[in-house]
Amino acid sequence: MPALASARYGKDNVRVCKVQRDEKTGTHSVTEMTVCCLLEGEIETSYTKADNSVVVATDSIKNTIYIKAKQHPVDPPELYASHLGQHFLDTYPHITSAHIDIIVHRWTRLTVDGAPHPHSFFRDGQETRNVEATVSRSGGIALKSTIAGLSVLKSTGSAFHGFVRDQYTTLPETWDRILSTDIDCSWTWKPFATVAAVEAGVERFNKAWTSARDIILQTFATDESASVQNTMYKMCEQILDAVPEADKAGFSLPNKHYFEIDLSWHNGLKNTGKDAEVYAPQSGPNGLIKCEVARDVSTLAQR
Ligand SMILES: O=c1[nH]c(=O)c2[nH]c(=O)[nH]c2[nH]1
């Protein structure tokens, strides 16, 4: 006999923009987010018995996302996600956990005549700052912070050699290649007991984001990379050092290949090895390299 094994529901792709105005200076700040909010709890009968009495309508969930954005700061997103998730537990006794995913889109302040403009912004890239929050009666507030979609490329300082060579191998070893990826980096916070605990020392979240971003960019640029694997591991170690309240850091990185093009068939034109200048960027297939580094290995999820 089949039975409901798991269920959660809510509203996805809720787009929210909050403008905060400093009346004294006339400076505005803008935060644009895409929010997903899914609820779990004693909601089985809505699936199995057509019992809508246990359903908080997804339309109401959407309204709540707007209201909580009005009532609370949306920066940092970790705090807003905690307030939003906690609201559902405080308001509906049969809801046992709220899963909040937030994507924060970039609006970077414009510089006009050398000065930061008070109310104009531009989108400088597809990079986003993301948060996944699970607020539950049993586990408190679990937060994971992410930098996603930060595209980087270096034109030297990357090698890849010494890998397995057998009857399946065609890739030549290289001591100098283009390395390019779209950064997806996350760090997982030790659980917080309450929203008040998230709020106490709330500056930790923006500080961690800035540190992680700096570490990623600096290490990407300066590491003499032996592989994507080794470079991402070095970044994780440094992020764990910089963010003492995180117990895990990890990456998921596509290896976006740039192939050398042999043009020697055209009048002996040299364009490989030390003469390589014109490359063919590949859309796919691409490598995909992932890892998680735990401060204490016992905190790693069992697989
Ligand atoms: O940094 C790399 N890691 C790999 O595992 C790999 N595999 C591959 O073909 N190229 C690369 N590059």
Does residue 58 carry a catalytic annotation?
yes
* DSSP state for residue 162 in the 8-state scheme: S
Does residue 11 carry a catalytic annotation?
yes
Domain at 8-138, CATH homologous superfamily: Urate Oxidase; (3.10.270.10)
pLDDT of residue 299: 53
pLDDT of residue 297: 79
CA 230 to centroid of chain Cα atoms = 20
Is 186 exposed, middle or buried (CB count within 10 Å of its CB: 0-12, 13-18, 19+)? buried
pLDDT of residue 270: 98
To the question of pTM greater than 0.90 for the whole model, the response is yes
The segment(s) of the chain belonging to CATH 3.10.270.10 are 8-138, 149-303
Residue 255 annotated as part of some ligand binding site: yes
pLDDT of residue 97: 98
246 CA from centroid of ligand 1 (Å):
28
pLDDT of residue 303: 45
Gyration radius from the chain CA atoms:
24
pLDDT of residue 46: 98
Q: Is the CB of 171 under 6 A from ligand 1?
A: yes
Closest residue by Cα to atom 2, ligand 1, is 227
Residues 35-65: tens digit of each pLDDT: 999 999 999 999 999 999 999 999 999 999 9
Residues of the chain with pLDDT under 50: 303
Instruction: Give the burial string for 22-60 (b: 16+ CB within 10 Å, else e).
Output: eeeeeeebebbbbbbbbbbbebeebeeeeeeebebebee
Among candidate residues 27, 58, 154, 234, the one labeled active-site is: 58
The yes or no reply on domain 149-303 and CATH 3.40.50.970 is: no
Does residue 257 carry a catalytic annotation?
yes
pLDDT of residue 146: 99
pLDDT of residue 300: 55
68 CA from centroid of ligand 1 (Å):
45
Identify which of 228, 231, 253 to mutate to test ligand 1's pocket (most ligand atoms within 8 A of the CB). 228
Smallest CA-to-CA distance from 223 within 232, 215, 231 is with 231
